[in-house]
Amino acid sequence: MFLHGTSRVNEQGHLEIGGVDVVELAKTYGTPLYIYDVALIRARARAFKEAFRRHGVRAQVAYASKAFSSIAMVQLAAEEGLSLDVVSGGELYTALAAGFPPERIHFHGNNKSWGELAMALEHGIGCIVADNFYELELIENLAESSGRTVPILLRVTPGVEAHTHDYILTGQEDSKFGFDLHNGQADEAFRRVRASAAFQLLGVHCHIGSQIFETAGFVLAAQKVFAKLAEWNKAHGFVPAVVNLGGGFGIRYTEEDDPIPVEAYVDCIVEEVKKQAAACGLPLPEIWIEPGRSLVGDAGTTIYTIGSRKEVPNVRTYIAVDGGMSDNIRPALYGAKYEAVLANRMFGERTEIVSIAGKCCESGDMLIWDIALPEAKPGDYLAVFCTGAYGYSMANNYNRLPRPAVVFVENGEAQLVVKRETYEDLIQYDLPLKTKVKK
Ligand code: LLP
């Protein structure tokens, strides 16, 4: 059985998460419903932090809030002593509204607006991860008008692109993010930043991809970054206080996925950074990472109610649920694969192969192809695992489906942390037509 964290099967044959019966949750809060196993999120956060502590190095583990941003989630990240990566005014606003310590917020993005940067500066956030020359200009102007010095990291593109099972070297990286390390852009950015009193250059940042299952890409990225830092040190005496190697640590969505434990990523990153810093004659910088998926991905489960069934003789059987690409766009967008069970019949024998369809008006709205399940009837509950990252955060109102609620469960207790949208919510910003047609 494919169970994560505190998930188990109870005496009634129901799926239980965080000591709470999922069928009860579905009845209380309705479906579709996102359920987060808080203990699992805490365990992951602690595993990352503990791994750095064991090495005795200074580090920050910044939760990439794009994976799932809400007031309660940000507060949980704060409780666990994480830092926070935000990529927009909206994520920043959420963090500030949640009372997250501004000095532990890092602001990302390839097109931050004047307004977003002004908001970040006004609240004294920890650092801005500067992405391009236009942004440097905006920050400089803002800093001058407010008399502030702005702590920044330069986001560099190391020419390493990691995929799930491998990594490639792309010489001149074709990416919309960051300053290229190889074509002189990173050097130019470094010169500009160092020449201006507006900036306090803390160090560099890079992020090589997502759902990465091996360490080689991180090692390679660290090598590239340090080669540049060594040059800057030699030529300009620059000593980096921080090296941020981004996120992207893989998780197990299906049996086919075989991720390494979070400690293994940290061990490899710390060892390589130590080695590189020593080789370059640099003091060991603070090491920052930005996990999103690996903190919340497998802690999230989505519960749906099963509705219609369509049998196409000799082809396949479609089972439809009351959500779909509106609450999980990843299968449609990336061909992402998921595991699922009937949450109210966990002991049921998996006697048929079916495909799980969403309810959106689009043939591509399929959640899972060809999964073995007990014979599903209308009213059964389908639990889809590992939907905690980029599920709710990429949810949308296609076909005017209201976005689901989110519940946190821990130690036998459930807590609603995001309310379900209502039909009234859906039309709240709509304004009536000013009719020009005479009656
Ligand atoms: N840091 C930076 C700069 C990033 O761009 C990202 C993800 C992360 C950290 C966190 O990566 P993670 O640890 O979560 O893999 N919507 C896609 C994922 C997009 C990732 C964007 N950047 C998905 O559903 O798979």
Maximum CA pair distance of the chain?
82
Distance (angstroms) between ligand 1 centre and the Cα of 189 equals: 24
Query: Are residues 272 and 223 in contact, defined by beta-carbon separation less than 8 angstroms?
Result: yes
Phi-psi region of 5 (alpha: psi -120 to 50; beta: other; left: phi over 0): left
Gap between the Cα atoms of 17 and 207, Å rounded? 33
At residue 19, what is the residue type? Answer: G
> Ligand 1: does its nearest atom lie under 6 Å from the Cβ of 292?
yes
Which residue matches tokens 């998926």? Answer: 293
Atom of ligand 1 nearest to the CA of 290: 9
Given this model, what pLDDT does residue 256 score?
92
What's the pLDDT band for 387 if we cut at 50, 70, 90?
A: very high
Q: Which two tokens stand for residue 35?
A: 């359920």
pLDDT band at 437 (very low <50, low <70, confident <90, very high): confident
Q: In this model, does residue 232 exceed pLDDT 80?
A: yes
Whole-number Cα distances in Å, 425 to 261, 302, 354, 397, 401: 41, 22, 34, 11, 11
- Range with the lowest mean pLDDT among 111-125, 127-141, 164-178? 164-178
Q: Is the CB of 290 under 6 A from ligand 1?
A: yes
The mean pLDDT of the chain is: 96
Query: What are the residues whose beta carbons fall under 8 Å from the beta carbon of 372, sequence distance 6 or more?
Result: 350, 351, 352, 353
Q: What is the residue with the minimal CA distance to atom 8 of ligand 1?
A: 247
- Residue ranges at the known binding site for substrate: 293, 330, 334, 362, 390
Residue 311 has pLDDT above 70, yes or no: yes
Question: Pocket of ligand 1, candidates 48, 65, 66: which has the most ligand atoms within 8 Å of its Cβ, to mutate?
Answer: 66
CATH of region 38-293, choose from 3.90.1150.10, 3.60.90.10, 3.90.650.10, 3.20.20.10: 3.20.20.10
Find the mean pLDDT for residues 31-45: 98
Evaluate: CB of 224 within 6 angstroms of ligand 1: no
pLDDT at 439: 73
Residue 361 a catalytic site member: yes
Taking the centre of ligand 1 as the mean of its atom positions, its distance from the CA of residue 176, in whole angstroms, is: 14
Per-residue model confidence (pLDDT) at position 165: 61
Contact 189, 130 (CB under 8 A): yes
- Is 91:69 a contact under the CB 8 Å cutoff? yes
Strands 179-180 and 150-157, by their bridges, are: parallel
Ligand 1 atom index nearest CA of 249: 13
> What is each CA distance from 130 to 83, 189, 191, in whole angstroms?
18, 9, 14
Q: How many whole angstroms separate alpha carbon 142 and alpha carbon 225?
A: 28
Q: What percent of the chain has pLDDT over 90?
A: 93
Q: Which of 280, 360, 361, 386 is catalytic?
A: 361
Q: Ligand 1 in contact with 108 (CB < 6 A)?
A: yes
Q: Which ligand 1 atom minimizes the distance to the CA of 333? A: 24
Q: Is 291 in the pocket of ligand 1 (CB under 6 A)?
A: yes
Residue closest by Cα to atom 20 of ligand 1: 210
Neighbours of 110 (CB within 10 A): 14
> Is any atom of ligand 1 closer than 6 Å to the C-beta of 248?
yes
Nearest to 298 by CA among 64, 6, 10, 1: 6
Judging by DSSP bridges, how do beta strands 33-37 and 59-64 pair with one another? Answer: unpaired
DSSP 145-195: HHT--EEEEEEEE-SEEE-SS-EEE-SS---SSSEESSSSHHHHHHHHHHH
Give backbone dihedrals phi and psi of 326, rounded to 5 degrees, phi first.
Answer: -75, -30
Q: Domain boundaries in the chain?
A: 8-30+299-426, 38-293
Which CATH number is associated with domain 8-30+299-426?
Answer: 2.40.37.10
**Mind listing the pLDDT tens digit for each residue in 152-209?**
999 999 988 777 666 666 656 788 999 999 999 999 999 999 999 999 999 999 999 9
Give yes or no for residue 246 CB within 6 A of ligand 1.
yes
